[in-house]
Chains A and B, each alone.
Chain A
Amino acid sequence: MTHSFIHFPTCGRVLAVLFIAVLAVAQQSRAQSSPQLSFDRANELFQNGEYREALAAYRSLERQNQVSGALFLNMGISYVQLDSLGKAKYYFLKASGFDEARPEAYKALEYVESRFSRQSAVLPKLPWERAVDWLRVNIGVTSLMGISLLLLNLGVAGFVATWFFSHRFNPVFRKAGIGVAGAGIVLLLLSFYVQYVDQRYSEAVMVHSKGNVLERPSPEAPIVNQAYEGYMFTVDHYQSEPHPDWSYVRMSNGLYGWIQDDNIRIL
């Protein structure tokens, strides 16, 4: 009896301490896992003018694969404050992909573009390339494939139905079914192409003040053109793959060449 009287309060205290510790750990892990909480803390740093620290906190969220339009917009603004306009442009472009930040991102992009000391000449893309880009950005490969498969199935179902239901419009329905299925197949092939383009090419932004686009992936290679902060590139991943640390790019002015990876950020 005496034994239990002596130890019961001790056990209770130990249990209480353990309980509090578990609660604290749980609270801490919840705090760590909450992107909004980290975002709010980063925003506080931003409001205090501690832009680098704020960026470190924003980047931590980005690394955790927790992103939002607000996050990218705020990162872009932080880079503007640090006068790193290439990176600012990169994040404003990312922010423009989110509805919540699109108007502000466009406004910020306009400002950043006006600050670049050099602007690249832009060779317009071919209509076909523009169409593919539009499909890729505005509809998306997955949606395109979904639509194409839906059309294919509807067309086939309509065509097959005419075998079993007698109607005076059967010939019309049959042709309509074949047409819809054909359109589905064409759209499916197109979506495969858009997917291929999406996988092979990416847009990139020059984030350093100056860099060389070279004929070959070697620092000693002849210079094709000089690139400046904010220049946009189209990166060909297929060509770049055998050369680590180098990217094969198409510049906005239509020239092709190689640039070192640390000069650019791929969107």
Chain B
Amino acid sequence: MKKTGKSAVILFGVFFVLAICNFRAFAQPSVTVNASVSETTVYTGERISLSVEVSGDFNNVSRPTLPRLQGFRLLSNNPSTSRNYSFVNGRSSSSYTYSYYLIAQNKGSYVIPSVSVEIDGKEYTTDPITVRIVDRNTSATNPSAQSRPGIFLMMEVSDKTPVTGQQLIADVVLYFKEGLEVSSYQPIPGWKAEGFWKEELENSHRPRAETVILDGVRYRKARLIQLALFPTKTGELTISPYEIVVSVRSAATRDDPFSSFFGGFGSNQRQAELKTDPLNVEVRPLPDLPDGRYTGAVGSFNISREVNTREALVGETIEIKTTVKGTGNIPLIGKPAYDLPDGLEVYAPQEASSLNRHNEQISGSKTFTDIIIPRSPGTFVIPEEKMAYFNPDQNRYVVETLPPVTFTVERDPNAIASSGQTISFSVQPITGLAAWVSPHSAEPWAYWWFWAGLVLPFIVLGIGYWQKTYQEKMHTDTGFARSRKAAQIAEERLNSAVQLSEQDHVKEAYNVLQKALTGFIGDRLGLPEAGLANQEYIAALDNKGVDPNLTKNVRMLLDKCSTISYAPDASQGYLKSHVELARSILDKLKKVL
């Protein structure tokens, strides 16, 4: 077959036509349908407009089908329409706007359901809209409405009970009554949020005012500044007042409360310095970390780790880059610590972060670069790591697993000379049996002997001093010595009496028994050792206040001892019974004397 190239031209033409068709298909812009209302908070009886805007590239559009509306009355089924047509960069687009007017009838919060529109045979629906209807008569009597100024500033935060590190969106919102017009504003520099790390968010739109009704009074509100705040500690934190200067122009009407304040001769524009009230936030602590390493990240993140090379020479730099990307407290995230294998020289890590302040939140990425230099050849494995961050939306830690990083290091052929130095190292490892110990660092005062050794000298000193004093008194104080020895001497005398009786010297035994009793009483009461009659011992006992019955027994026994010398039938058994009686009496006397 002769090659002419004709078939190729035909093929190219077919492809070109198909490509054009496909391009048109892909280039066709999408159609959007939006519904909006003129006010989201209205008084009963007021009129609002509901607009349905169809924009994009389309041919046929049907009139919107309104759903059943609760709380509102539709003024007319026939909407007013407006149409815009534009042709930009070779592309045409048009927009249709259908406007309906609704009368607010009953107070409450109502949802205007989705509105459906058929465009080029396809049905589109809008998002539902919530509108609050306020009763003008009852709300106007609210006393707090009178105390609220005509223009004021408020700080509104997204969450009043965040956890540490959670991103809070704080809006500085200006409220002003109708009749006032804010031409410009300027924040006063130097605002500090103690306990927070703060970042100002960027908004592409100029502040837009919308209507709200506060305690029955209609206000316009506009968000002037949006901040991202990250609490750095737990507990109750106070967001300090934020101050701005606003330029306000008021309508010079007699009823306007601001006309007197702002009013002037010819010009009614003034500047006012406004500040928000201090706002308390209760910061909760983070829960305990179940698993993995935590580096302070709070938000929603993707964490990844990579190494810049898998093969290197000894002494070459290797970089391990860890990237944390997402939404949250990116600047507060700390460097993750890895278990690096031995043989690596670790240098100071580098940190870099990029922040995106759009879309009403702080997002972006933070990169940590660990710089390491291998000192020996081999295959190095940085083990798998579990990195955790706290996700406030899910109220839990999310653990991301970083896979292990492996790289191989070869010996540098130009550095052979340096490796030769290790050969001169002559110390050999110990490979036999080793003496194993489990070191423990107990303090000396953890041992019993420490306390025993510390207390014992005081005990020895105390007892020794007491014994020394006792012995000295025994030697120097006769009365004390007699008193201390009285019981022992009495006992010896009683034993002696028993022995004498056993040797048939009963009468002598009674004499000894009498001595035992009188000697004990005399020694204990400090009476003379001899020359006293029994009656004097009895009198001494009475004076001491001894129990009369006991004194009576003593007297009886002493009388018996005195008279037994004259008794013809003094037997051994009789004496023994008296000795036992004497022992019993002495035991009782020991307790009272």
B-contacting residues of A (Cβ < 8 Å)? Answer: 35-36, 39-40, 43, 46-47, 51-52, 55-56, 65-71, 73-74, 77-84, 87, 98, 100-101, 104, 107-108, 111, 115, 141-142, 145-146, 149-150, 152-153, 155-157, 160, 163-164, 181, 191, 195, 208-209, 262
Collect the chain B residues with CB atoms within 8 Å of residue A164's CB. 464, 467-468, 471
Shortest CB-to-CB span from B233 to chain A, Å, is: 16
Q: Considering only CB atoms, which chain A residue lies closest to B314 in the complex?
A: A83
Given contacts A104-B427, A181-B457, A208-B346, A71 and B341 within 8 Å (CB-CB): no
Question: Is B449 in contact with chain A by the CB < 8 A criterion?
Answer: yes
Docked pose: A262 CA to B434 CA in angstroms: 30
- The answer, among A65, A146, A157, for a CB contact under 8 Å with B439, is A65
Known: A115-B421, A141-B444. A65 touches B438 (CB 8 A): yes
B343 and A82 within 8 A (CB): yes
B434: contacting residue among A47, A100, A145, A146, CB under 8 A: A100
Q: Does B9 contact A (CB under 8 A)?
A: no
Q: Is B144 an interface residue (CB 8 A)?
A: no
Cβ-defined contact, B429 with A43, below 8 A:
yes
Known: A84-B342, A163-B464. A52 touches B378 (CB 8 A): yes
Is there contact, CB below 8 Å, between A36 and B427?
no
Q: Which residue of A lies closest to B424 (CB)?
A: A111
| Contact between chains at A36 and B433 (CB < 8 Å) | yes
- Closest chain B residue to A59, Cβ basis: B342
What are the residues of chain A within 8 A of B453 when measuring CB–CB?
Answer: 146, 149-150, 152-153
CB-based contact A66/B427 at 8 Å: no
Chain A contact residues, majority secondary structure: helix
Of B343, B425, B434, B438, most buried by chain A (CB within 10 Å of CB) is B434
Contact partner, A262, options B341, B346, B380, B454, Cβ 8 Å: B346
Inter-subunit contact B461/A83 (CB<8 Å): no
Asked if B461 and A111 sit within 8 Å, CB to CB, the answer is: no
Whether the Cβ atoms of A68 and B444 lie closer than 8 Å is no
Most chain A beta-carbon contacts within 10 A, residue among B343, B375, B378: B343
B437 located at the interface, meaning its Cβ lies under 8 Å from any Cβ of chain A in the complex:
yes
Q: List chain B residues, Cβ under 8 A from A150.
A: 453
Which of B342, B421, B438, B443 has the most CB atoms of chain A within a 10 A radius of its CB?
Answer: B342
B27 on the A face (CB < 8 A): no
The answer to whether A43 and B431 touch (CB under 8 A), given A82-B375, A146-B449, is yes
Given the complex, which residues of A lie within 8 Å of B460, measured CB to CB? 153, 156-157, 160
Bound Cα distance A108, B426 (Å): 8
**Smallest CB separation, A101 vs chain B (Å):** 6
> In this assembly, does B23 line the interface, its C-beta being within 8 Å of a C-beta of chain A?
no
In the complex with contacts A79-B342, A80-B422, A35-B464 CB distance below 8 A = no
CB distance from B593 to the nearest CB of A (A): 30
Contacts of B345 in A (CB 8 A): 84, 208-209
Cβ of B435 under 8 Å from chain A: yes
Residues of A within 8 A of B464 (CB): 160, 163-164
In the bound complex, residues from chain A placing their C-beta under 8 Å from that of B424 are 111
Q: Is B456 an interface residue (CB 8 A)?
A: yes
Where the two chains meet, the residues of B that have a C-beta atom closer than 8 Å to any C-beta of A are 341-343, 345-347, 375-376, 378, 380, 421-422, 424-439, 443-444, 447, 449-450, 453-454, 456-457, 460-461, 464-465, 467-468, 471
Q: Which residue of B lies closest to A108 (CB)?
A: B427
Given the complex of chains A and B, what is the CA–CA distance between A74 and B429 in angstroms?
5
Decide: A84 near B426, CB < 8 A? Known: A71-B434, A156-B457: no
Residues of A near B447 (CB, < 8 A) are: 142
Knowing A82-B342, A156-B461, A160-B464, the reply to whether A107 touches B427 (Cβ < 8 A) is yes
* Nearest-neighbor residue (CB-CB) of B432 within chain A: A70
Closest Cβ–Cβ distance, residue B349 to chain A (whole Å): 10
**Closest A residue, CB atoms, query B462:** A160
In-complex Cβ contact of A67 among B375, B380, B437, B444 (8 A):
B437
| Cα distance A64–B471 in the bound complex, in angstroms | 61
Compute how far the CA of A162 lies from the CA of B433 in the bound complex, rounded to whole angstroms: 54
Q: Which residue of the partner chain A has the closest CB to B452?
A: A149
Complex contact B375–A83 (CB within 8 A): yes
Per CB-CB distance, the 3 closest pairs between chain A and chain B, nearest first, are A149-B453, A160-B464, A70-B430
Smallest CB gap from A163: residue in B: B468
Shortest C-beta distance, B228 to chain A (Å), equals: 25
Residues from chain A with a CB closer than 8 A to the CB of B465 are: 160, 163
Q: Could you tell me if A68 and B454 are in contact, using CB atoms closer than 8 angstroms?
A: no
Q: Is A68 touching B434 in the complex (CB atoms < 8 A)?
A: yes
Q: How far is the CB of A176 from chain B (nearest CB, A)?
A: 15
Q: Complex: how many Å from CA A172 to CA B467? A: 22
Cα distance A51–B481 in the bound complex, in angstroms: 85
Query: Can you name 16 A-B pairs with beta carbons within 8 Å?
Result: A36-B434, A51-B343, A67-B436, A73-B427, A74-B430, A80-B425, A83-B376, A83-B422, A84-B345, A108-B425, A111-B424, A111-B425, A141-B444, A142-B447, A181-B457, A208-B345
C-alpha gap A127/B316 in the complex (Å): 46
> B195 to chain A: closest CB distance in Å?
20
Residue of B nearest to A157 (CB): B460
Complex alpha-carbon distance, A115 and B423, angstroms: 13
- The interface residues of chain A lying within 8 Å CB-to-CB of B457 are 152-153, 155-157, 181
Asked if B342 and A77 make an inter-chain contact with CB atoms under 8 angstroms apart, the answer reads no
A70 touching B434 in the complex, CB below 8 Å, given contacts A65-B439, A156-B461: yes
Please state if A145 and B450 are interface contacts (CB–CB under 8 Å).
yes
Given contacts A40-B431, A83-B375, 17 further A-B contacts (CB under 8 A): A36-B433, A36-B434, A43-B429, A47-B431, A51-B342, A68-B436, A73-B429, A100-B435, A108-B427, A115-B421, A145-B444, A146-B453, A153-B453, A156-B460, A195-B443, A208-B345, A208-B347
| A55, B292: Cα distance in complex, Å | 24
| A177 CB, min distance to chain B CBs, angstroms | 11
How many angstroms between the C-alpha atoms of A163 and B434 in the bound complex? Answer: 54
Q: Which of B428, B431, B439, B467 has the most CB of A within 10 A?
A: B431
A104 CB contacts on chain B under 8 angstroms: 427-428, 430
Q: Which residues of B contact A73 (CB under 8 A)?
A: 427, 429-430
In the bound complex, CA of A68 to CA of B433 (Å)? 10
Give the complex CA separation of A157 and B456 in angstroms: 10
- Across the interface, which residues of B come within 8 angstroms of A100, CB to CB? 430, 434-435
Counting chain A CB atoms within 10 Å of each CB, which of B444, B449, B464, B471 scores highest?
A: B444
The answer on a CB contact under 8 Å between A84 and B375 is yes
**Is the beta-carbon distance between B439 and A52 smaller than 8 angstroms?**
no
User: With the chains together, A47 CA to B432 CA distance in Å?
Assistant: 13
Chain A's nearest CB lies how many Å from the CB of B29?
53
Contact A35/B436 with A82-B375, A149-B449 known, Cβ cut-off 8 Å: yes
> Which residue of the partner chain A has the closest CB to B450?
A145
Q: Is A52's CB under 8 angstroms from B437's CB?
A: no
Chain A contacts for B435, CB-based, 8 A: 68-70, 98, 100
Contact A84 B422, beta carbon cutoff 8 Å: no
CB neighbours of B468 from chain A (8 A): 163-164
Chain B residues with CB below 8 A from A82, complex form: 342-343, 375-376
**A74, B464: Cα distance in complex, Å:** 57
Q: Which residue of B lies closest to A54 (CB)?
A: B429
Q: For residue A70, which residues in chain B have a CB less than 8 angstroms away from its CB?
A: 429-430, 432, 434-435
A157 to B431, CA, bound (A): 51
Distance in Å from the Cβ of B84 to the closest Cβ of chain A?
A: 58
A66 x B438 contact (CB < 8 A)? yes
User: Looking across the interface, which residue of chain A has its beta carbon closest to that of B468?
Assistant: A163
Asked if residues A36 and B436 are in contact (CB atoms below 8 Å), the reply is: yes
Instruction: Please judge, given known A-B contacts A111-B425, A156-B460, whether A68 and B437 are in contact too, CB under 8 Å.
Output: yes
> Within 8 Å CB of A68, what residues of B?
434-437
**Chain B contacts of A51 at CB under 8 A?**
342-343, 376
Most buried by A among B380, B438, B464: B464
Chain A residues, Cβ within 8 Å of B426: 107, 111
Q: How far is the CA of A145 from the CA of B447 in the complex (A)?
A: 11
